[in-house]
Copies of this chain bind each other. A is one copy, B any other.
């Protein structure tokens, strides 16, 4: 039993190691430069190992994307748990979607490739759909109690498209830095609210 657990853990470790290696290669060489050979070399393993832990290259990529999504989601959840007011929740969501060390052209660039490459793949489509649904429901939870549904929907759309747009512009080296990005969205949302609505959210 102990051995089994140990072994499973070792397997999991190696899997994680490979995913991490894939991620490093991905960040440096981009999606097109992320070859199986490079991943294995980066992990310090032989080329054949990939098919031992994964079905194939595509499987590694998917695991990598899923892991990153999970980390991002968990980060947002943690931030939301610490938020006091509804307004703090909005800030938590925004800050979670622009992670400090990660909101950077090369990263944005890499992730754009993934979205582009995987949009037709139903497996990723589900992942994406889930991600957007979560984002929208999080945003909705900020406004739902104090605003009519159509305004909630509109603000939600606005915020989510601005998040994506700023990431895309980051990849194109045309986006402001992280604080300015968050600030821009906050400012936009603020401008859409009446003074009273703002006060209610901040309470």
A116 interface residue per 8 A CB criterion: yes
Question: Which residues of B lie under 8 Å from residue A113 when comparing CB positions?
Answer: 113, 116-117
Chain B residues with CB under 8 A of A109: 116, 119-120
A158 within 8 A of B: yes
Set B32, B116, B169, B176: member contacting A112, Cβ < 8 A:
B116
Sort chain A's interface into a size bin: 35 or more
Q: Which residues of B contact A112 (CB under 8 A)?
A: 112, 115-116, 119, 168
In the assembled complex, which residues on chain B have CB atoms less than 8 Å from the CB atom of A168? 112, 115, 164-165, 167-168
* B154, B172, B176, B187: the one within 8 Å of A128 (CB): B172
- Which A residues fall within an 8 A CB radius of B? 30-32, 105-106, 109-110, 112-113, 115-117, 119-120, 125, 128-129, 132, 154, 157-158, 160-169, 171-176, 184, 187-188, 191-192
